[in-house]
Chains A and B, each alone.
Chain A
Amino acid sequence: MPVTRRFLSRTYVTGAVVVAWIVLWVVLNGRDTLPLGGAQLTPLHNRLGEAADAIDANRNSNPLFLYFVNYIRLFLDAAVTFVQALISQPSFGRPVPLVGWLGVTGVATAIAYLYGNRKVAVLTAAGFASFGLLGLWEESMDTLALTLTAVALSLAAGIPLGIWAGLSDRFNRVVTPVLDFMQTMPTFVYLAPLTLFFLIGPASATVATMIYAVPPAIRLTAHGIRQTPPATLEAADSLGATGGQALRKVRLPLAKRTIVVGINQTIMAALSMATIAALIDAPGLGKTVLKALQTLDVGTAFNAGLAIVIMAIVLDRVTSAAGRRVETADRTGRSGGARLRRVETALTAAVAVVLVYLSYTYVWAAEFPGGADLGSYVRRGADAASMWAQDTLVTYTNGLKNVITYALLNPFEALLARSPWWLVAVVAVALALLLAGVRAAITAAVGCALLVALGLWHDSMVTLATTLVATLLVMVLGVILGVWMGRSDRADRVLRPVLDAGQTMPAFVYLVPILGLFGATRFTAIIAAVVFAAPVSVKLVAEGIRGVPHTAVEAATAGGASTWQLISKVQLPMARAGITLAASQGLIYVLSMVVVGGLVGAGALGYDVVAGFSQHQLRGKGLAAGLAIVVLGIMLDRIMRAAASRAGSSPASR
């Protein structure tokens, strides 16, 4: 078995590199660590700051702005304002929006019914009613208006790009780093600069949301297109299908499930921006959350966060049901019931129109009646729960924090941040070479050089330590829960709402309770990142497990494999592509929370970014810190993927 021997020797060399690192670290501890004080700046940081100033000064004279950026801004503002005028803001000289609560609820329910099924229609009606019952109708509609605009534009751009990336390897290679960049670049970094380009308000908020929300649509569309089994394509080919036909009749239908997952992710990502966009005066629920944070009013923040979660769940279920419906319709054909379907559509539309008319005309249908104020109960309940948790759990949580900090985080951080920078760089390149090959080694070398050049090496290493620990926890959760969910439909039903909540509940809502539990520490940042990043990993692992062919599972079961053997020998190895995707997405989501970590005591790059957003003279440094986060993300992701595919190519080694 030559493969095994080679693998073993590689393991030994890897071990030797790590041991050498630790030995050298003991000797060289604290030398050449390139620290940079809180207010210290490098010339690069100053130049970046000056560039921002230049944009500020030339906004109304530069042709790029006059003929391009300013038009985009006008278009986006008009688009959002138009949707707001329809559903959320008093408009056209009326004291209420064109369509009141009854009309919006009616239309949404009708859409859910026609494109989904009766169940999601009921869910939609209940969800929209709950916005009013929580006392947040107008705010919810503002959020919906902004989200719908951003998602519509994201999909219009994202799905064609995704198809292209799915068909063309070259384009895929070009676009992947750009997507990584967009997803890992912390929103805070481009939020203030965006207001330089698109001014304060909905336009900037829409662009910020799109930058963050479009990558999942592109990525998962491409992923779906790529997953078409070669045998199916060959069959289509041998039947004489052209490239376009193969795309429309074979690849797209087969990719539909994955594309819908991508649309869901885009919606989730867009909604998760609701609070952050509120920092530049984006309308909606996010504002309520931020306001509540100023007075540490957990109840009010939770109430608004709950509305965001409900909105996410409704949109998610409707898109999924619509996806399934199209899928079954494709399979069964449209032979029977076409006439019935037309009648059904006409009637549903008629009801919706009536409801819209009512809400246009009558106050009771336009403004949500304020009778049952569910919101105040939710607020009080959340307040009490958060108080209880903070008061009673604090002794245990403190212990947990200390164990993980002293046993895992501090040694890790010491090793990374207290070693000389050149030592870490050499080790990183060596490990990348051993585990992932030459290309990854080059990526690692370039990445390390960039971190040094950005002047933020030390902060990057501190952030890296926190990120790696968080990603580790995310993957532990991802594999355990993902396998459970992938194997059991019941687990799926129970877990999915919880995961949706974790992904869409704005971090700002649970910051106060976890701060109470863990204090302003790096561990708090890790918890916040895990809450946000674990759901996507769990979902992708589950998706991978579900994608394992039934025949393989049946064969193994018939062969007498136990459940444990089935999971470890068949399902996990065969779902490797999904798990790798889960790990890299998990990592990227963790990195996207680095800035939130900066708000709760994690310091380092996250703090630099927040500081750059709030202090004028630190603007350049904040920008550099954002770039450093991106460099870390791309570097880790590349190495991880290459390592995974290499480990995959030598299965005999395990």
Chain B
Amino acid sequence: MAVTRNYGPRALALVAGAGLLLSGCGGAKVGETQAASDGKGGCGTVNLAINPWVGYEANAAVIAYVAEKELGCTVVKKDLKEEVAWQGFGTGEVDAVVENWGHDDLKKKYIDEQKTAVSAGVTGNKGVIGWFVPPWMAEKYPDITDWKNLNKYADLFKTSESGGKGQMLDGDPSFVTNDEALVKNLDLNYKVVYAGSEAALITAFRQAEKQKTPLLGYFYDPQWFMSEVKLVKVNLPEYTEGCDADAEKVACDYPVYDLDKIVSKKFADSGSPAYQLVKNFTWTNDDQNLVAKYISEDKMSAEDAAAKWVKDNPDKVKAWLPQG
């Protein structure tokens, strides 16, 4: 024991000596090469909420990139779910949510009642919600895309979770859904089973297509997964204005959503050029899916994906910039 103990300090002394030598040799010194970059002025800091889906991240990445490169803003991205993000409008911790699906209750609370948030217009993206099957099923059973035939196929969709009925798989609880009412009101022999998360839903569809197993589930577009497996929509009775007014009696398909942007009142009143950018920002589903594909499939960082898209679409970007 004594021997090893003696050996310890000597070895350490050696290392210490080597370290001192190294420090003498040098290398690039901190602070010499990189100067802290200041903003180009006038913009300041923008707190951007990042809601947890890739399409949202695509919007946010492009807006953040343009704000930083063109307007000289400092963009702080905060990873938050919708509910918590809206809460942040009032405390000044969140300035903008840049892809919002519906959420009438949150609008009522934060825009109408608390007046801490305001709408900043549409993003140009059309949100489609509905019931989908994997492509192999639509090919094998062409008439499955009509809801009237769903009962005929109910047996196919039986699982250990559905209690003898067909299984209709729903996703994350934050998604808008009328599915339980739909099953009841359309007299479908199905049971709604909640997967509980988008990851579970996508994994289920991915496995269903790969293993050629039957699956009927809730899904939506724009969504990066659609570029991997092109799910086929099952047509429910057509949506008409107001047919979903009573949540208990809904018997029609989901409406097409105009996705929009919400910003904090303070941000809107600040006169920041970044607010003008957020307000002016619009693009199409194809634009978003492209950036989402860069991120999810090509594994680019959000920033690189945005840079690539911005470089390829200078005209669209120009139209968003504040005038004058």
Contact = CB atoms under 8 A, between A and B. Distances in A.
Nearest to B47: A200
What are the 9 tightest A-B residue pairs by CB atom distance, in nearest-first order? Answer: A614-B174, A611-B173, A520-B195, A295-B296, A354-B19, A515-B203, A599-B197, A363-B28, A520-B200
B173 A618 contact: yes
B168 to A, nearest CB: 12
Contacts of B2: 337
A80 to B, nearest CB: 15
Interface string B68-111: 00000000001111111011101101100000000101100100
A615 B101 CA distance: 13
Contact of B12 (A337, A351, A511): A351
Interface of B: 2, 5-6, 8-9, 12-13, 15-16, 19-20, 22-23, 26-31, 33-34, 36, 52-54, 57, 78-84, 86-88, 90-91, 93-94, 103, 105-106, 109, 114, 159-161, 169, 172-174, 180, 192-204, 206-207, 210-211, 224, 247, 295-297, 299
B114 A600 contact: no
B52 A280 contact: no
A348 B8 CA distance: 9
Interface residues of chain A: helix, strand, loop or mixed (majority) = helix
Given A57-B114, A614-B174, A601 B87 contact: no
B173 A195 contact: no
Given A287-B79, A611-B173, A295 B200 contact: no
Interface in A326-368: 337, 340, 343-344, 347-348, 350-351, 354-355, 357-358, 360-366
Interface stretch (A92-100, A128-136, A216-224): A92-100
B107 to A, nearest CB: 10
B22 A358 contact: yes
Nearest to B53: A294
Interface residues of A, number: 85
A381 interface: no
Contact of B88 (A200, A297, A354, A616): A200
B199 A607 contact: no
A606 interface: yes
A149 to B, nearest CB: 20
Contacts of B109: 53, 616
Contacts of B12: 344, 347-348, 350-351
Given A200-B78, A295-B224, 19 more contacts: A38-B194, A39-B180, A53-B109, A195-B87, A201-B93, A281-B80, A287-B79, A294-B57, A337-B5, A348-B12, A351-B15, A361-B23, A362-B26, A363-B33, A391-B210, A515-B200, A600-B200, A616-B103, A616-B105
Most A Cβ at <10 Å: residue of B13, B80, B200: B200
A293 B199 contact: yes
B224 A59 contact: no
21 contacts: A39-B180, A56-B87, A192-B83, A200-B80, A293-B199, A343-B9, A347-B9, A354-B19, A358-B23, A362-B27, A362-B29, A405-B160, A410-B160, A515-B199, A515-B200, A516-B207, A519-B207, A520-B200, A522-B161, A603-B196, A611-B173
Most A Cβ at <10 Å: residue of B9, B103, B197: B197
Contacts of A37: 180
Contacts of A607: 173, 194, 196
A614 B194 contact: no
Given A294-B53, A511-B199, A520 B84 contact: no
Nearest to B28: A363
B225 to A, nearest CB: 8
A68 interface: no
Contact of A617 (B78, B79, B105): B105
Nearest to B23: A358
Nearest to A406: B160
Contacts of A391: 210
Contacts of B6: 340
Nearest to A286: B79
B174 A615 contact: yes
Contacts of A344: 5, 8-9, 12
A228 interface: no
Interface of A: 37-39, 53, 56-57, 59, 93-96, 100, 118, 192, 195-196, 199-201, 278-281, 287, 290-291, 293-297, 300, 337, 340, 343-344, 347-348, 350-351, 354-355, 357-358, 360-366, 390-391, 394, 401-402, 405-406, 410, 511-512, 515-516, 519-523, 598-603, 606-607, 610-611, 613-619
Nearest to B90: A56
Contacts of A521: 159-161
A199 B161 contact: no
A350 B15 CA distance: 10
Contacts of A615: 83, 173-174
B236 to A, nearest CB: 19
B34 A95 contact: yes
A296 B203 contact: yes
Nearest to B176: A615
B173 A614 contact: yes
B27 to A, nearest CB: 4
Contact of B27 (A95, A347, A364, A516): A364
Contacts of B160: 401-402, 405-406, 410, 521, 523
Contacts of B31: 94-95
Given A96-B30, A362-B28, A363-B30, A199 B83 contact: no
Contacts of A602: 196
A603 B193 CA distance: 8
B36 A296 contact: no
A309 B230 CA distance: 37
Given A199-B91, A351-B15, A362-B28, A520 B33 contact: no
Contacts of B199: 293-294, 296, 511-512, 515, 599
Most B Cβ at <10 Å: residue of A57, A196, A291, A401: A291
Contacts of B114: 57
Given A347-B9, A347-B13, A362-B30, A290 B79 contact: yes
A360 B30 contact: yes
Nearest to B37: A95
A618 B81 CA distance: 15
A354 B21 CA distance: 10
A357 B20 CA distance: 10
Contacts of A192: 83-84, 87
B180 to A, nearest CB: 6
Most A Cβ at <10 Å: residue of B52, B103, B169: B52
A406 B5 CA distance: 63
Contact of A614 (B82, B192, B204): B82
